[in-house]
């Protein structure tokens, strides 16, 4: 007759297997949600940087003002008056038509190098350029709070996103 296995040895094996699998699952969740969070934030910075680089790095760029005289087809245009040294007046430069631009108003702008495209400058332009990052912070906060189970970090990210979007709304 074979003696029965002690209860302590039989119970030890399943605990080890379940402990290892729970550690692996936890690591997988943290790695996958961390990757998703990083991708969301990188996409937000990438989307913002296309405009923000012209507003933040103004050294050597043409700066001036545009009086918007015409809007249509997703763009607004008007005559450009230079403010910086070396900049030349132009009959027409183009701004992206958005909630940040209205016909009949004058805006300070920075011209994109080698084109007639203008980007709003000043505090309103800086905040407006980073709006995609604000949206990415809001989206990533849900992943951080839910997927990574870091609710405080999620609330901080959501607060930063809301603050950025609100400041851009107020400034524009």
Please tell me whether the overall predicted TM-score, pTM, comes out greater than 0.85 for this model: no
Per-residue pLDDT of the chain (172 residues; tens, 9 = 90+): 566 655 555 555 556 667 888 899 999 999 999 999 999 999 999 999 988 999 998 888 899 999 999 888 888 999 999 998 888 889 999 988 776 788 889 999 999 888 888 998 889 889 999 999 999 999 999 999 999 999 999 999 999 999 999 999 998 7
Indicate whether 92 belongs to any domain.
yes
Indicate whether 30 belongs to any domain.
no
Indicate whether 43 belongs to any domain.
no
Burial 130-166 (b: 16+ CB within 10 A, else e): bbbbbbbbbbbbebbbebbebeeebeebbeebeebbe
Indicate whether 85 belongs to any domain.
yes
Indicate whether 53 belongs to any domain.
no
């Amino acid at each position: 007759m074979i003696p029965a296995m002690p209860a302590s040895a039989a119970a030890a094996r399943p605990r080890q297997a379940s402990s290892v699998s729970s550690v692996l699952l936890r690591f997988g969740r943290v790695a996958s949600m961390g990757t998703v969070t990083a991708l969301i934030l990188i996409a937000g910075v990438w989307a913002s940087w296309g405009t923000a680089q012209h507003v933040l790095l103004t050294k050597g760029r043409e700066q001036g003002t545009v009086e918007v005289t015409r809007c249509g087809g997703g763009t607004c245009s008007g005559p450009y008056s230079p403010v910086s040294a070396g900049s030349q007046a132009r009959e027409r430069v183009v701004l992206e038509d958005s909630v940040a631009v209205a016909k009949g108003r004058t805006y300070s702008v920075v011209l994109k190098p080698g084109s007639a495209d203008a980007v709003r400058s000043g505090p309103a332009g800086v905040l407006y350029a980073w709006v995609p990052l604000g949206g990415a912070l809001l989206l990533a906060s849900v992943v951080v709070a839910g997927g990574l189970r870091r609710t405080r970090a999620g609330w901080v990210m959501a607060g930063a996103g809301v603050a950025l979007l609100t400041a851009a709304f107020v400034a524009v």
